[in-house]
Amino acid sequence: MTTGMSLKQLIAEPRSMEDLHVPQNMVIDLIFRLLYNEGNVALARFTEVLKIPKAIIDEILMWMQKEHMVEVSKATVELGRLGNVYSLTGAGSERARAAIERSQYVGPVPVAIPYYSRGIEMQTRTRQKVSPEQVKQAISHLALPADFHRQIGPAVNYGTSLFLYGPPGNGKTTIAQAIAKLIAGTDPIWAPYAITAGGQVIQLHDRLVHKAVPQAQGRTAELGRIDQRWSLIERPAVTVGGELKMDALDLRFDPVAKFYEAPLQMKANGGMFLIDDFGRQQVSTTDLLNRWIVPLESMIDFLRLLSGQTIVVPFRQLTVFSTNLDPRQLVDDAFLRRIHMKVNVQAPDEKLFYQIFVSMTKQLNMPFDKDTFVHLLQKWYIQSGRKLQAVHPRDLLRIVTTLCEYDSSPIRMTPELMDEACRSYFVN
C-alpha cells in the first residue's frame, strides 16, 4: 500500500476523500461531534479542527444537507458555499448523539497506521549525524572530562540505545537532557496528530512533548502543499522516572472518551526516550526489561487494542537508561548486549570538583575564596571520607547564598558559612 511512496507523496495534501485513506463514516462522525459540541460551525472552523481541505469537507456537508442531517444557519452571499455556517437538524442531532456514543474524539482526522509507520521509518532510516563540535557545545555547560564527548557523540549517531550509570549526583540526568536538546536541534520530523487502526482512534500528539516548527501556510519548498494532519515538530524527548508504570507503555483507552492515547515510547518516535532512575520504577525491573527486549532488537513494537487486535508500529528513538544502581544487579548480560553503548558517569576528581566549584561561584556572582575551598575539602571530604559529587558545589553555594541573604550580608565564601551550609546539607 505504502511501499515505494516518497515522503513527499505520503504527506501531500489530499485532493479527495479517497486520499485520506480512512473510512468516510469516521470523518462524518467527526463533523457530527463538532456540530453537536459547538452548535453553529463555519467551513473555516471545520478545516481548522479536522485539518483537511475545505473542498473535501464541503463535499461531505453537501451530502449531509441532501440527507437532511445539517442545514445552513447563516450564509454569506459574496463567498458562496465557502461562507456557509452549518448546524444540525433534528435528525442530525440524533445521529450526532450516536456518534458521541461511539467516541468523543474531536480533532484532526486520523492518519491510517500504515502511512504513519511508513512516514516514521522513512524519516529515521538515515541516522541524525552530529559532529564532535556540536556535542562539545551541547555539554559545554557541564564540567566533564575533556574526552567525554567521544562517549556521547557515537551513541547519538548510532541512535538506538544508551546506558548511563554511575554514583548519584554526578550529572547523568543533566547529560541526558543535553542529549535531548542536541537531538531536538537536528532536522525536524513530520508526525500526525492522530492515527487510526482497527476502526479506533489513537491520539499521538502531546503538546507537552511535541513542539511545532513553523511552516509557511502549509507549504514547504521541497515538499509542496502538505497534508495538515501531519505536524512538523522538533524531534521529541520523553522523560519518565520512578513514576513509570507498565500501562504507560501500552495503548491507554479512555472508557469515557472512547479513544486511545499513544504510549510514551510511541510519542518519542524520531527523538529520545529517557528512563531516569532506572530500577526505581513502580514496576519490576524484570517486567520492564521483558517489555523492551524485543523492540530494542527488532526496532518495532507490538501494541494491542481492546478488541484483541495487535498492531505493529516503529520503535525508532534513542532509548536512554539512566541509573545510579549497580547495572549487574539490575540487568542480565542478554539485555546489556542489546544496549550497544554504555557510559560510566563517574564522580569528579579534586581537579574537576575545583572547576565545577569555580564555575558555580561565577554563576552566583560570588567571589571565589581558595582558603574556604581548601577548608571544605579537608574537613568535609578528606577527614570524613565523603565522596565528591558533581552536584555538591551547586547545592552548597546556593545554601551559602541563602544564608547571606537571610542576614542581609554580602554574598561571600567563608569557612564559617561553608561549615553552616554543610551541617545543613549533609546527613551524618
Can you tell me the distance from the alpha carbon of 14 to that of 11, in angstroms, rounded to the nearest whole number?
A: 8
Task: Answer whether residue 215 is part of any domain.
Answer: yes
Do 364 and 336 lie in one domain? The reply is no
pLDDT in tens, 193-231: 999 999 999 999 999 999 999 875 555 667 788 999 999
* Beta strands 111-112; 194-197: pairing state: parallel
Can you tell me the distance from the alpha carbon of 266 to that of 249, in angstroms, rounded to the nearest whole number?
A: 8
The stretch 353-376 carries a mean pLDDT of 93
Can you tell me the distance from the alpha carbon of 425 to that of 395, in angstroms, rounded to the nearest whole number?
A: 8
The residue to which cell 527523538 is assigned: 271
H or E element: which one contains 240?
strand 237-240
- Residue 321: predicted pLDDT: 87
Do 155 and 280 lie in one domain? The reply is yes
Do 193 and 302 lie in one domain? The reply is yes
- Residue 115: predicted pLDDT: 96
Can you tell me the distance from the alpha carbon of 164 to that of 291, in angstroms, rounded to the nearest whole number?
A: 19
Can you tell me the distance from the alpha carbon of 107 to that of 193, in angstroms, rounded to the nearest whole number?
A: 8
Task: Answer whether residue 42 is part of any domain.
Answer: yes
Do 325 and 210 lie in one domain? The reply is yes
Name which residue leads in pLDDT, 407 or 242.
Answer: 407
Do 165 and 263 lie in one domain? The reply is yes
- Residue 168: predicted pLDDT: 85
Binning pLDDT at 50, 70 and 90, where does residue 97 land? very high
Do 362 and 326 lie in one domain? The reply is no
- Residue 77: predicted pLDDT: 61
36 Cβ contact list (under 8 Å, min separation 6): 88, 93, 96, 97, 99, 100
Measured in whole angstroms, the distance separating CA 114 from the mean position of its chain's CA atoms is 22
Can you tell me the distance from the alpha carbon of 416 to that of 376, in angstroms, rounded to the nearest whole number?
A: 10
The stretch 254-263 carries a mean pLDDT of 96
Name which residue leads in pLDDT, 242 or 82.
Answer: 242
The stretch 110-114 carries a mean pLDDT of 96
- Residue 128: predicted pLDDT: 67
- Residue 78: predicted pLDDT: 61
- Residue 52: predicted pLDDT: 96
Do 166 and 293 lie in one domain? The reply is yes
Can you tell me the distance from the alpha carbon of 263 to that of 123, in angstroms, rounded to the nearest whole number?
A: 20
Task: Answer whether residue 239 is part of any domain.
Answer: yes
The stretch 378-401 carries a mean pLDDT of 93
Select from 48, 76, 108 the last residue of a domain.
108
Residue 168 identity: P
Select from 344, 360, 379 the last residue of a domain.
344
Do 419 and 377 lie in one domain? The reply is yes
Task: Answer whether residue 250 is part of any domain.
Answer: yes
Do 158 and 219 lie in one domain? The reply is yes
Task: Answer whether residue 2 is part of any domain.
Answer: no
- Residue 111: predicted pLDDT: 97
Q: What angle do CA 67, 72, 73 make, to 5 degrees?
A: 135
The domain that contains 57 carries what CATH number? 1.10.10.10
Do 178 and 310 lie in one domain? The reply is yes
Select from 89, 108, 127 the last residue of a domain.
108
Can you tell me the distance from the alpha carbon of 367 to that of 404, in angstroms, rounded to the nearest whole number?
A: 13
Q: Pull the grid cell for residue 22.
A: 480512512
pLDDT in tens, 43-96: 989 999 999 999 999 999 999 999 999 999 887 766 667 778 999 999 999 999
Q: Residue 56 half-sphere exposure, CB side, CA atoms within 13 Å?
A: 22
Q: What is each CA distance from 55 to 81, 152, 198, in whole angstroms?
A: 10, 49, 27
The residue to which cell 487486535 is assigned: 309
Q: What helix, strand, coil percent values describe the chain, rounded to 5?
A: 45, 15, 40
Task: Answer whether residue 1 is part of any domain.
Answer: no
Q: What is each CA distance from 308 to 115, 293, 300, in whole angstroms?
A: 22, 22, 18
- Residue 80: predicted pLDDT: 65
Counting residues of the chain whose pLDDT is more than 90, the rounded percentage is 59
Residue 175 identity: I
Task: Answer whether residue 374 is part of any domain.
Answer: yes
Kindly report which listed range (33-37, 107-111, 128-132) carries the lowest average pLDDT score.
128-132
- Residue 287: predicted pLDDT: 83
- Residue 214: predicted pLDDT: 82
The domain that contains 201 carries what CATH number? 3.40.50.300
Q: What is each CA distance from 43 to 51, 74, 104, 105, in whole angstroms?
A: 12, 11, 21, 19
- Residue 219: predicted pLDDT: 53
Instruction: Label each residue of 278-318 as H, E or C.
Output: CCCCCCCHHHHHHHHHHHHHHCEEEEECCCCCEEEEECCCE
Can you tell me the distance from the alpha carbon of 371 to that of 366, in angstroms, rounded to the nearest whole number?
A: 14
Do 127 and 65 lie in one domain? The reply is no
Do 131 and 268 lie in one domain? The reply is yes
Q: Among 103, 275, 317, which residue's Cα sits nearest to residue 194?
A: 103
Q: Among 292, 295, 294, 272, which residue's Cα sits nearest to residue 283?
A: 292
CB-CB contact of 209 with 237 (8 Å): yes
Determine the structural domain holding residue 300 and report its residue range.
113-344
End-to-end CA distance of the chain: 66
Binning pLDDT at 50, 70 and 90, where does residue 291 land? confident
Domain count for the chain, please give it.
3
Q: Among 187, 227, 193, which residue's Cα sits nearest to residue 210?
A: 193
Average per-residue pLDDT for the chain: 89
- Residue 184: predicted pLDDT: 83
- Residue 235: predicted pLDDT: 92
The stretch 339-364 carries a mean pLDDT of 89
Task: Answer whether residue 12 is part of any domain.
Answer: no
- Residue 345: predicted pLDDT: 87
